[in-house]
Amino acid sequence: MTTVIIYHNSNKEYTGFTCMGHAGYAKKSLFGTKPDILCSAISILTINTVNSLELLADEKDNMKLNTNEATGFIKCDFLKPVTKPDSKILLDAMVLGLTELSNEYGNKYLQVKFEEV
């Protein structure tokens, strides 16, 4: 299962997110295991958001990133809460996409949680 934790402060400003684990949705068939489309979708949403924040929203100097591809771990911390409208909408879009995936595939494979820090 993949767990994504979205961190925010008391003003509901994003302060970071963590994505950990593999969804485990891949299906086995007579022809072998099919690729895990849910894990791929989660990766695309989170990695594209990080890249977009760095390259399009100029948040590179405001981000601390730790990753481990083998374990499916991504941790993105913001040194200051996100207040730029462009950055906020990119993170809102990621949260929307992840929430919709969780609704579609179920909490057995993906859980999206929110924590105030």
The mean pLDDT of 38-45, rounded to a whole number, is 94
pTM check: above 0.95: no
Inform me whether the pLDDT recorded for 24 exceeds 90: no
Supply the angle between the helices 85-105 and 37-55 in degrees, to the nearest 10.
180
**pLDDT cut 70: percent of the chain above it:** 95
